[in-house]
Structure 1
């Protein structure tokens, strides 16, 4: 039985227990006041009407129990009836306020998700000799829309990729993601060097971000037999070859985008062999920071064999399903994955 079903049944269980205990003990202890637990519990998971019906049920049960206990017509019984009515009214008000807040949060989440879907346009499934797969899982927590972003563009310099994660949550993070994506889409076509693309994005963010906000990101450019990576404080991508799996750690540490004012020089891209049949998985920290019920992080490298399937999208979907099984519940952060596979021709 799900937790929601248990919460919906709890008011009736509470009333039933009060009836059973009162019938066993008789009027010596006086359990009738505990019938107020019914409408109180009903307000936790039910609506206003359901809470009112549970309150009426508690009143209806209170009268025959008062007769059984010999309390009918006594002041204590009138006080019990008044308590049930008062608790029911307060619970109905609490239920109405809770439902209103839930609707507001749901609407806020829908707006943020819609904005995020507009920004994260579908990536091409094929580009040059690459096959591309994408997976994006939104956080299920209230108003926890994140700023995960990704883009793949084919330019005169080759296929260029961006994946990043904006610090923070909510609509502000989505707005920052829009700035990053807009700057990247423009600079990816204009700049001949990957470092120049990063500088253009950094300049755009400097006009937008305030305080200590930042964006971790990886920019990549595919060449013949290799791929150039420029890592700006982002988790290292996972490279899969026939002879093994490893993380493409950057040769130089780089600050995230938006922190260029600190004066740290931007490192040069480092090149990683990327030949026929090789794969590279880009991801955001929502993937590797997922924990199971025992607090263990998701072992991405150990699950890399799931990406060996014939179809990249099917293989990535299998990895996502394994990630969901590992978490066993709602995600606390957005999780984006972008898989590139090099095919002949």
Structure 2
């Protein structure tokens, strides 16, 4: 995910560096087309425009170029000396170039500090998340986490997958809010899910175990706000790998990709997010789907589905996953994320994705439709 975001941001920065030169070229064009137009205000703006976009050396160079062009334009009609107003204008460019140099150093320090803070936040987030294996009981697995480009706070996106006596169990979720309170919720949920997934025989019991623990954390003074909650999908793949069971707690519906077709795995019955179970009954709705060989489950947080382009249009991952795709889950993630960054450029919110592929045994893939619903509880 970082590669796509880096390529977009780098391209945008690369083109913005030409803005001071574009302004200088505009001055020359205006002077040729409309000689009576006063272009010195534009020339004085060039070093200030350059300060946040280019290096210190290029900021000073842009100021020097502005002075040179201003002097040439002042003398273009055969003048042998500058008028007082022209001296004043050239002096203004020099002064603003000095100011721009100081601003450039301030911007550079702030960018470095923000970059360091963001890297620390992302490193903490990655340390909190458990490592995801490449293979789990005949399933191929891939996961990604990406901090928002404009944020420097620890986010609340999470995912985990565990091989248990009751099948492969996984969770993906998003804690409301950021910072250390989000980390507390993430740690609580992941730790409880790990223990419950290994010990409890049915999926509703796992969800209820996580809910009880989150309620306990919320009840402690100063730990988390009362309105804190976690949207999440808790899922399991049966030991024979034929059935996918899923409890969706207010989270974006996962997708199943099979033979070029994408199916939205929407819950039959909506449920409140984890941490708000005291507002609902004890029942945990679970949906079941067929899990054919070769199928790929794509789970993600709302940082992906709520990403918008410049016109405010939300990103739809379905077109990117429709059609022939390589069988590896990492390739499926790459296809979705490449489309995401073509659509939005950069993320305004943290994003996480977990992809699991049912690797078929040789000749074992049956002619099944993509993810038909087979029941619910």
What is the TM-score with the length of structure 2 in the denominator? 0.76
Q: 1:250 Cα shift?
A: 2.3
- Structure 2 contact 294–357 (Cα < 8 Å) conserved: no
Structure 1 counterpart of 2:232: 217
What is the DSSP-based 3-state SS (H/G/I as helix, E as strand, rest coil) of the residue aligned with 2:52? Answer: helix
Name the CA distance, whole Å, in 2 between partners of 1:16 and 1:341: 58
Structure 1 counterpart of 2:44: 36
What is the DSSP-based 3-state SS (H/G/I as helix, E as strand, rest coil) of the residue aligned with 2:174? Answer: strand
Q: Deviations over 1:180-232 (max 9, x none)?
A: 22222233223333333223322333314313222111112222432322211
Structure 2 counterpart of 1:251: 268
| Stretch of structure 1 that moved more, 76-85 or 141-150 | 141-150
- Structure 1 contact 307–319 (Cα < 8 Å) conserved: no
Q: 1:106 Cα shift?
A: 0.9
Q: 1:140 Cα shift?
A: 5.1
- Structure 1 contact 220–229 (Cα < 8 Å) conserved: yes
2:199 to 190, 193, 197: 190
Structure 2 counterpart of 1:103: 112
What is the DSSP-based 3-state SS (H/G/I as helix, E as strand, rest coil) of the residue aligned with 1:45? Answer: coil
- Structure 1 contact 238–245 (Cα < 8 Å) conserved: yes
Name the CA distance, whole Å, in 2 between partners of 1:64 and 1:238: 64
Q: How many residues align?
A: 342
Q: 1:111 Cα shift?
A: 0.9
- Structure 1 contact 293–328 (Cα < 8 Å) conserved: yes
Structure 1 counterpart of 2:348: 332
Name the CA distance, whole Å, in 1 between partners of 2:140 and 2:102: 52
Q: Deviations over 1:243-280 (max 9, x none)?
A: 96533332332111122333443424333333545443
- Structure 1 contact 306–318 (Cα < 8 Å) conserved: no
Q: 1:162 Cα shift?
A: 0.9
- Structure 2 contact 132–143 (Cα < 8 Å) conserved: no
1:236 to 214, 237, 253: 253
- Is 1:47 the counterpart of 2:64? The answer is no
What is the DSSP-based 3-state SS (H/G/I as helix, E as strand, rest coil) of the residue aligned with 2:157? Answer: strand
Name the CA distance, whole Å, in 2 between partners of 1:219 and 1:250: 12
Q: 1:103 Cα shift?
A: 1.4
Structure 1 counterpart of 2:156: 147
Structure 1 pair 91/71, CA: closer, same or farther in 2 (3 Å)?
A: farther
Question: Unpaired segments of 5 or more residues in structure 2?
Answer: 1-9, 218-222, 365-377
Q: 1:165 Cα shift?
A: 1.7
- Structure 2 contact 48–96 (Cα < 8 Å) conserved: yes
What is the DSSP-based 3-state SS (H/G/I as helix, E as strand, rest coil) of the residue aligned with 1:44? Answer: coil
What is the TM-score with the length of structure 1 in the denominator? 0.82
Name the CA distance, whole Å, in 2 between partners of 1:180 and 1:141: 26
Question: Unpaired segments of 5 or more residues in structure 1?
Answer: none
Name the CA distance, whole Å, in 1 between partners of 2:279 and 2:101: 55
- Structure 1 contact 218–230 (Cα < 8 Å) conserved: yes
Structure 2 counterpart of 1:131: 139
Q: Would you tell me which structure has more helix in proportion to its own residues?
A: 1
Structure 1 counterpart of 2:174: 165
Name the CA distance, whole Å, in 1 between partners of 2:320 and 2:39: 57
Aligned runs of 1:189-208 on 2, under 5 Å?
189-206=198-215, 207=217, 208=223
Structure 1 pair 336/312, CA: closer, same or farther in 2 (3 Å)?
A: closer
- Is 1:59 the counterpart of 2:76? The answer is no
Name the CA distance, whole Å, in 1 between partners of 2:140 and 2:19: 49
| Stretch of structure 1 that moved more, 39-48 or 310-319 | 310-319
